Amino acid sequence: MASIIYQLIPKENGEENERYIGSTNNIIKRINNHRNHANHRPNACKSSIIINKYGISNIKYEILEICPEGINPREREQYYLDTLPNMNGMPAYKSREQKLELRKEINDRYRQNNMTRINCECGGSYLYANRHSHYKTKTHMKSDEKSNATI
Ligand SMILES: [Zn+2]
């Protein structure tokens, strides 16, 4: 049976990260599930936060993707969790090893970003992690003044 990757968002005036992403092969049952959680066990699911804040009739659910058979819906769900702001607060992969692996990946990416050397408009270069102290250097501030003056 095909799975559905869906999102719950406020119909109006929602914050950017007020989005709950899930996957299911029975969307009607799953939506009822969210409603029941919100009413009776709000701590069981993060979706309760927006359902109770806006009211169920002010929440819309949208299908992000119909995941064909043979493709792991958790993988597709994770793709959306990684690319859209959301309130899930938990990866789609829930096994301990997978969580640890994800954590490691995030740390590695973070470290890598911080160690990236960036060539600055001022002619200097700096490590991303040290960008704030670079902005305060004389060379940088001087060139900043100059470019401000020509605007
Ligand atoms: Zn600079």
Q: What is the largest CA-CA distance in the chain?
A: 64
pLDDT, residue 61, reads: 92
pLDDT confidence of residue 91: 64
Strands 20-24, 59-67: pairing is unpaired
pLDDT confidence of residue 150: 55
Distance between Cα 109 and ligand 1 center (Å): 24
Instruction: Indicate the domain borders of the chain.
Output: 3-112, 121-150
Q: What is the pTM of this model?
A: 0.59
pLDDT computed for residue 39 by the predictor: 92
pLDDT at position 95 is 67
Residues, Cβ < 5 Å to ion ligand 1 = 120, 122, 124, 140
- DSSP E strands in 71-132: the ranges are 117-119, 125-127
CA 148–ligand 1 middle distance (angstroms): 14
Note the pLDDT of residue 117.
92
Q: Which pLDDT score is estimated for 76?
A: 92
How high is the mean pLDDT in each 10-residue block of the chain (151 residues)?
92 93 92 92 89 94 91 91 89 69 82 88 92 93 75 48
Report residue 64: phi and psi, to 5°.
Answer: -85, -35
Q: How far is the CA of 124 from the centre of ligand 1 (A)?
A: 5
> Which pLDDT does position 105 carry in this prediction?
82
Using DSSP's 3-state secondary structure scheme, residue 141 falls into helix
CATH architecture of structural domain 3-112: 3-Layer(aba) Sandwich (3.40)
Token couple for 51: 């359902």
Looking at residue 68, the DSSP 8-state letter turns out to be P
Ligand 1 center from residue 108 Cα (angstroms): 26
**pLDDT score for 113:** 82
